Amino acid sequence: MNGMDDIATPRRTKEIIQRHGFSFKKSLGQNFLIDQNILNKIVDAAGLDSTKGALEIGPGIGALTEKLAQQAGAVTAVEIDQRLIPILEEVLAPYPGVKVHHGDVLKTDLAALFKSNFAGVSKVSVVANLPYYVTTPILMKLLEERLPLENIVVMIQKEVADRMAARPGTKDYGSLSIAVQYYSVPELVCIVPKTVFIPQPNVESAVIRLAVREQPPVVVDDERHFFEVVQASFAQRRKTISNNLKSRFFPNEGRERLDQLLQAAGIDPSRRGETLSIEEYAVLSNLLRKEGIGLN
Ligand code: SAM
């Protein structure tokens, strides 16, 4: 073995996992990257330099972590699988500044971790090849906790990336698009073939960058209420917004009051939820809340 090789070559990845007797766990979304070009594309999209920090979720055997260590001023990686910790210690030995935290990212106090590990850097980006079985909970945790993040650059299922970046009036647009776009500006970086992973996943992948907003793009009086209205509006995609909101908020009444409110918000009651912009949802939610409708 040539110890100076990059980790993410098929040969070196196989050598490391064989020597450690490591077997992939499908249940942990373990599909490791073995392609230098893709790794470089992911890291480049985050715009890191020595004044910035990087949080990696799921470092695996450290292929991406190594690249991050070469570019960022501070790197922390959170890995759930105990079996990978000794491998990471070995592979990252040349980068003693990298901190590996063993744990489930969904149960990790990230605000505390940021305070202790990123105090010396100006901005932090999340950079990761995410475990696909928990993509949405991880991204929503990162966004909803309002961590001081600049970018989130992640490899995810292409189908999920398409939904996150979708515009109103398209088939992919839904409550996930609105939730992600409320907190960030998404941009598709590249589509990724299955062949760059070991083992190969069953689905197509894509790298997406979420530029985290300092302020939401709309003024919402109550965020929980806003997201409840959005969820209700997409409950059944083929129904009109009037029908969906009626089922949720007025199951036993006629539709006159609801349709008047929709019209007062400038929304034709016969439209479908997928045609409304985030601005229209904000106006609608603020109006319904003033009328005491929703989130009792
Ligand atoms: N970064 C490596 C790469 O690109 O080759 C591995 C990426 S692999 C798609 C996902 C990684 O996330 C695995 O190492 C897996 O063990 C880890 N993982 C899965 N669920 C996790 C969780 N809830 N918290 C932290 N890490 C997790």
- pLDDT tens for each residue of 212-249: 999 999 999 999 999 999 999 999 999 999 999 999 99
* Mean pLDDT along residues 40-64: 97
Residues 170 and 45 placed together within one structural domain of the fold: yes
Range(s) of the domain holding residue 231: 223-290
Using the mean position of ligand 1's atoms as its centre, give its distance from the Cα of residue 61 in Å: 9
Residues 17 and 132 placed together within one structural domain of the fold: yes
Residues 275 and 179 placed together within one structural domain of the fold: no
The string of DSSP letters for 204-254 reads: -EEEEEEEE-SS-SS--S-HHHHHHHHHHHTSSTTSBHHHHHHHHH-TTS-
- ipTM of the shown complex: 0.99
Residues 130 and 171 placed together within one structural domain of the fold: yes
Report which DSSP code applies to 199. S
Residues 132 and 11 placed together within one structural domain of the fold: yes
Residue 190 lies in a domain: yes
What are the binding residues for S-adenosyl-L-methionine?
31, 33, 58, 79, 104, 129
Q: Which atom of ligand 1 is found nearest the CA of 34?
A: 5
Confidence band, pLDDT 50/70/90 cuts, at residue 5? low
Task: State how many domains the chain has.
Answer: 2
Residue 33 lies in a domain: yes
pLDDT digits (tens, 9 = 90+) for 194-203: 999 999 999 9
Output the pLDDT for position 296.
64
pTM of the model: 0.95
For 184, other C-beta atoms within 10 Å of its C-beta total 23
Identify the residues whose C-beta falls under 6 Å from ligand 1.
28-33, 57-60, 63-64, 78-81, 84, 104-106, 129, 131, 134
Residues 34 and 165 placed together within one structural domain of the fold: yes
Residues 272 and 181 placed together within one structural domain of the fold: no
* Of the residues 191, 212, 233, the one at which a domain ends: 212
Ligand 1 mutation pick, 30, 100, 101, max ligand atoms within 8 A of CB: 30
pLDDT digits (tens, 9 = 90+) for 171-199: 999 999 999 999 999 999 999 999 999 99
Looking from the CA of 98 toward its CB, the CA atoms found within 13 Å total 29
Residue 235 lies in a domain: yes
Residues 13 and 51 placed together within one structural domain of the fold: yes
pLDDT digits (tens, 9 = 90+) for 246-267: 999 988 888 899 999 999 999 9
* Of the residues 212, 242, 259, the one at which a domain ends: 212
Residue 17 lies in a domain: yes
Q: What residue owns the CA closest to ligand 1's atom 12? A: 58
Residue (of 212, 156, 220, 149) closest to 188 by Cα position: 156
* Of the residues 151, 184, 212, the one at which a domain ends: 212
Using the mean position of ligand 1's atoms as its centre, give its distance from the Cα of residue 197 in Å: 13
Residue 159 lies in a domain: yes
Residues 191 and 247 placed together within one structural domain of the fold: no
